[in-house]
Amino acid sequence: MRLLHLTDTHLGARFSGRPTTGVAAPPRGWSRAQDHQDALDRALALADELDVDAVVHSGDVFDRSKPPWRWLKAAAESLARAARERPVVVLSGNHDRLGLTRTLPLHVPDLHIVDRPTNLTLRLRSGEVRLACVPYRRNVPGFRHGLEQALGPGADLMVCHQAFDGVVVPGLTFRVGAQRDTVGAGDFDGLPRPDAILCGHIHPRQVVPCGGVPVVHPGCLLHTAMRDRAFPEGVAVWELEARVRWRFVDLPGRPLVEVRSVEDLVAVTDGAMVAVRDVGAELLPSLLDAIAERGGFVVGQPRSTGTRVSSVASARDQQLSMFAL
């Protein structure tokens, strides 16, 4: 039995910062939201290529609770089409805080939209798998309550969208008690343990233990911030046989590049999104020309040496860094 696990698609997302003007501007009509939709379609195409038995999305389907109609419609069509080939489970995350049943199609029998803690049995061509599904909970008591509902009857695997003790994002390690929604092994006391936990929410790819149970984060499907560019983008493929195994599959999207000097231009390729940081004012025009010649385009306002960053942008950067949104 084989599952495809993806997470944090953030459909409809617009890259932070306003497009610049000039020769290195983004193409007319360009939208980062199209990249996110394309990434979803690449992942679902991989499900066909690998002939998996089911697809599991562990949360943050959309970038905001009221996504633009264009991207809502595109996502609904893609997920419905995928669910006609195999069961698809879609969990709501913190960005989907108003729930997904109000936005995604309910008429497709094998598209399982999970807004509330649920114990779900999927009847697949190669057998059955029981999933304990717990959408994002704002605090530990809420998560524990959701666990009792979803995991109490027992399950093979758990699917959730939560921060677990020990996960790491740049500059921060999550710990129980330090954040109100960070959970740990103690929250599973008295409940049956799943073989593994398929988790979303944390964008850097990683695996952390929770009372001996692996919590697997395949990483966001497509980066939502320039600082994430060092981390792989992609999915996890699960094999459920005598024992549970998984492997990560990279599905890289548009290159993200940060340019601070002439030497950094070598990384700029056709279609790359480029952030220009801390460049001397006299060098900036020639760098922008060079980026355009290489087919890249600049997002955000180029920042010269000594340029002050607005408090709004700074707060946004800090939020992205600390909470991997």
**pLDDT per residue as tens digits for the range 250-266:** 999 999 999 999 999 99
Radius of gyration of the chain (CA): 21
114 Cβ contact partners less than 8 Å away, ≥ 6 residues apart: 89, 90, 91, 92, 100, 120, 133, 135, 159
Helix (H) or strand (E) holding 145: helix 140-151
DSSP state at residue 282 = T
- Could you tell me the pTM of the whole model? 0.91
Q: Write down the pLDDT at residue 28.
A: 80
Residue 303 amino acid letter: R
Residues 296 and 318: their CA atoms lie apart, in Å, by 26
Question: Where do the domains of the chain lie, and which CATH numbers do they carry?
Answer: 2-250 (3.60.21.10), 256-323 (no CATH)
For 91, counting Cβ atoms within 10 Å of its Cβ (0-12 exposed, 13-18 middle, 19+ buried), the class is: buried
Minimal CA–CA distance to 17: which of 322, 264, 298?
A: 298
Here the tokens at position 241 are 């046989």
> Residues 299-316, buried b or exposed e (16+ Cβ, 10 A)?
bbbbbeeeeeeeeeeeeb
Name the stretches of the chain with pLDDT < 70: 16-22, 304-325
**pLDDT per residue as tens digits for the range 221-238:** 999 988 899 999 999 999
